[in-house]
Amino acid sequence: MPKLVKRLLIALLSVTVFFGAAEALLRANGFEYPPLEPIQVWNRVEDKEIRLGTSMHEYAERQMWRPRVGAEVPWGGTINEFGYRGPALKKEKTPGVLRIATLGDSSTFGHSVKYEDTYSAQLEKFLDVAGYDCEVLDAGVVGFTIRQGIERYDELVREFQPDIVIEAFGAVNDHLQALQSVPDKEKIAMNVATGGFWTQIGLWLRQDSRIVHFVAKRIDLAKGVTSDVRGKVFLERKKEAELDPYVGLVKFPGKRRVPLDDFEACLLELEKRVEADGGRLILVSMPRQPEVEAKSPVLLEYSKMVLDVGARQGLDVVDGRALFQAALAEGRTVEQLFADAYHPKPAGHRLLAQALGKAIVAHLPATK
């Protein structure tokens, strides 16, 4: 073995032994200096998957996250070249073809169903059968709020110049507690820092290595970060955890991702943008299983807000929640309509597509 290689191996072994001994000594003495978590873009689990590149999503500066081009969709298909689920449309509109875009959360994206079973795809079929040439762009994203929906409209949907935009938010994500007390409006304005694989490695080391804990403490002391400052942050996180069981109440002392007043402002802002671009906005009050609403009565306030804004602004509103309630009253079962608490099955998507189709046809000239 060459002397140089031997020396390098000995040096590497010495460094390994030194750091191993230091790590063991710090652990034996119970030394800990846990990190203050960075602002979570989505949540701890999803952020980790995105950084590792194993998620269906990627970070986006304003939308916060979005479907990743080419990613496999668990329920079939891949994300197309423009970053949405379903067939990729040409950006140039075809004369005489009605173009529709659907904006919403995982139910619009098509959680638990094949793309052809989503209400977006079924709406296109409904209108084709009715004699109208149309194409539908499904811009739904898992986990999205209406705040993110506005950003997605600006960054993706607008350039396709849809004649009709369908808004379907307020089912669940908007009312959830804002992680680390940062609502979506503020988080988007912050342009939350992102990272990739090596960022994840750094986070793991900062979380688990006592040597890194030791170095971090020295750096914080040099910066003047006292234990009092850190204690306040940890106390805030503890309070958030204690408030989480009460997030479904109408009066919630914490912060929501999109509080009701901001939800209303977003509906009005989206209407303004769509109409300024020459399109027409249709609102949808999305369905949920009844037991979910019983446990989280604030969700009814979001549904009511959709109806109220629609009536006040003279917009078409499809009350999907009422549609599903009527279907249940007529003998359909929850299992036939829902895949889980929030996501419709193909039959549920069909109900939404039919109601949307009728609302759209009412404004179109009769076919020959």
Rounded-to-integer distance, Cα 119 and Cα 126, Å: 10
pLDDT of residue 235: 82
Residue by residue, DSSP assigns 212-273 as HHHHHHHHHHHHT--HHHHHHHHHHHHHHHHHGGGTTSSS-SS-BSS-HHHHHHHHHHHHHH
pLDDT in tens, 227-239: 777 778 778 888 8
- Token pair for residue 258? 């999109």
CA angle 91–350–366, rounded 5-degree value: 65
Amino acid letter for position 149: G
Rounded-to-integer distance, Cα 232 and Cα 259, Å: 24
Higher pLDDT pick, 15 / 299: 299
Residue 218 has pLDDT above 90, yes or no: no
Residue 20 has pLDDT above 90, yes or no: no
Amino acid letter for position 250: V
pLDDT of residue 110: 98
Rounded-to-integer distance, Cα 106 and Cα 109, Å: 5
pLDDT in tens, 86-127: 999 999 999 999 999 999 999 999 999 999 999 999 999 999
pLDDT band at 216 (very low <50, low <70, confident <90, very high): confident
CB atoms within 10 A of CB 107: 29
Q: Are 262 and 189 in contact (CB under 8 A)?
A: no
pLDDT of residue 1: 59
CB atoms within 10 A of CB 17: 10
Residue 36, SS3 per DSSP: coil
pLDDT band at 13 (very low <50, low <70, confident <90, very high): confident
Q: Are 267 and 305 in contact (CB under 8 A)?
A: yes
- State the average pLDDT for the chain: 94
Q: Are 227 and 32 in contact (CB under 8 A)?
A: no
Q: Are 186 and 262 in contact (CB under 8 A)?
A: no
Classify 224 in phi/psi space as left (phi over 0), alpha (psi -120 to 50) or beta: left
pLDDT band at 257 (very low <50, low <70, confident <90, very high): very high
Residue by residue, DSSP assigns 281-337 as EEEEE----HHHHHH-THHHHHHHHHHHHHHHHT-EEEEHHHHHHHHHHTT--HHHH
- What mean pLDDT is predicted for residues 352-358? 98
CB atoms within 10 A of CB 160: 18
- Compute the radius of gyration of the chain from its Cα atoms: 25
DSSP 8-state assignment for residue 115:
G
Residue 368 has pLDDT above 70, yes or no: no
- What mean pLDDT is predicted for residues 7-36? 86
pLDDT in tens, 57-69: 999 999 999 999 9
pLDDT in tens, 183-210: 999 999 998 877 888 888 888 888 889 9
Residue 344 has pLDDT above 90, yes or no: yes
- What mean pLDDT is predicted for residues 338-365? 97
pLDDT in tens, 301-333: 999 999 999 999 999 999 999 999 999 999 999
Residue 23 has pLDDT above 90, yes or no: no
Most confidently predicted of 20-24, 31-35, 43-47, 65-69: 65-69
Q: Return all residues near 150 (Cβ < 8 A) that are at least 6 apart.
A: 266, 269, 270, 273
- What mean pLDDT is predicted for residues 119-148? 98
What is the crossing angle of helices 346-361 and 119-129, to 10°? 50
- What mean pLDDT is predicted for residues 224-253? 86
pTM for the model stands at 0.92
**119 class by beta-carbon count within 10 Å (0-12 exposed, 13-18 middle, 19+ buried):** buried
